[in-house]
């Protein structure tokens, strides 16, 4: 590999099981923090986890949505499901923690433990017990939400 080439999986990979404190804070590893950068966005994922989006990833997703007619029902559905309630401009504290707002903790069923995993260009935050359930049944886990988001996205892309 040439010196200036990037390995295929260099963006995000790996994961940690971490504590969620009483205020809703959790630590993100130094490696994932470096790769996410600051500021970042905390959004709701298509299957019920939370997602930390690097600024470039968020902007790319937003650009796709902005290309659609603002009155397109698919655009509205996608915006509400994926962008509604997103926290934009977030940063890590000096201990490498993020504060997850209560409504997002409730959405992701985060309580005492979280699974923080790197997935390609983003970081997912799962309630540890929910990640285990997902791993056992990925096709059926939170299927209604996932299918709604996927359908809206395909329609936005003209693939419906």
Q: Which residues contact 7 (CB under 8 A, 6 or more apart)?
A: 1
What pLDDT was estimated at residue 1?
A: 42
Q: Is residue 40 part of a domain?
A: yes
* Token pair 């990037």 in the structure block, residue: 6
d(CA 139, CA 156): 23
Q: Is residue 62 part of a domain?
A: no
Q: Is residue 98 part of a domain?
A: yes
Instruction: Say whether pLDDT at 104 is over 80.
Output: yes
Q: Give the CA count within 13 Å in the CB-facing half-sphere of 105.
A: 18
Instruction: Say whether pLDDT at 90 is over 80.
Output: yes
Which secondary-structure segment (H or E) carries 88?
strand 87-90
Residues paired with 95 in a beta bridge: none
Q: Is residue 114 part of a domain?
A: yes
- Quote the longest CA-to-CA distance of the chain: 47
Q: Is residue 159 part of a domain?
A: no
- CATH code (residue 102): 3.40.1550.20
Q: Is residue 89 part of a domain?
A: yes
Full-model pTM: 0.86
Query: Residue 41's Cα: distance from chain center in Å?
Result: 8
Q: Are 45 and 39 in contact (CB under 8 A)?
A: no
Beta strands 113-119; 15-19: pairing state: antiparallel
Count: domains in the chain: 1
What pLDDT was estimated at residue 120?
A: 80
**What range defines the domain where residue 47 resides?**
15-55+79-141
Q: What is the pLDDT of residues 10-21, one digit of tens each?
A: 455 567 899 999
What pLDDT was estimated at residue 119?
A: 85
Q: Is residue 2 part of a domain?
A: no
Q: Is residue 6 part of a domain?
A: no
Instruction: Say whether pLDDT at 105 is over 90.
Output: yes
């Amino acid at each position: 590999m040439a010196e200036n080439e990037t390995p295929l999986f260099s963006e995000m990979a790996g994961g940690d099981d971490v504590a969620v404190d009483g205020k809703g804070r959790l630590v993100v590893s130094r490696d994932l923090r470096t790769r996410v950068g600051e500021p970042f966005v905390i959004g709701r994922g298509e299957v019920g986890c939370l997602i930390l989006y690097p600024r470039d990833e968020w902007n790319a997703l937003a650009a796709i949505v902005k290309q659609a007619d603002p009155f397109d029902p698919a655009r509205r559905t996608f915006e509400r499901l994926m962008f509604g309630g997103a926290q934009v401009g977030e940063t890590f504290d000096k201990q490498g923690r993020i504060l997850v707002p209560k409504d997002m903790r409730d959405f992701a069923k985060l309580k005492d433990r979280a699974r923080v995993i790197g997935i390609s260009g983003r970081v997912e935050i799962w309630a540890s017990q929910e990640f285990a359930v997902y791993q056992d049944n990925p096709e059926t886990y939170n299927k209604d939400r996932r299918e709604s988001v996927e359908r809206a996205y395909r329609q936005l892309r003209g693939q419906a």
